[in-house]
Amino acid sequence: MAKDDKLEEEAKLFLYFVYKIKNLPVEQCENIFESDGIQYIKIKKEDKILYQCIYCGTSYVYKKGLSSHMKRLHNIS
């Protein structure tokens, strides 16, 4: 049963990911990066760079904050 739950969770994350990427503005699609197995969007706002979660859109000033967010909420290591 746990395996089925994990597959369902992965399927939901995949569908959410596809939805988010499909609705991204074109200029942001070029800003998708991967570091340490974590994919994120790099956004330049005013004078700072934000790192945005590709699953839920939460933004962080530091990659370390995004990394802990991905591990805690999306179970991505």
Could you list the residue range(s) of the whole structural domain that residue 23 is in? 2-74
Question: pLDDT by residue (tens digit) across 7-65?
Answer: 777 777 776 666 665 555 555 556 778 887 788 888 887 888 888 888 788 889 998 99
| E-state strands within the chain | 32-35, 38-45, 48-53, 59-60
The confidence score (pLDDT) of residue 45 equals 79
**Structure confidence at residue 12 (pLDDT):** 72
Q: Quote the number of domains for the chain.
A: 1
Tell me: the pLDDT tens digits for 13-25? 776 666 665 555 5
> Cα 50 to chain center, whole Å?
12
What is the pLDDT, as a whole number, of residue 46?
A: 82
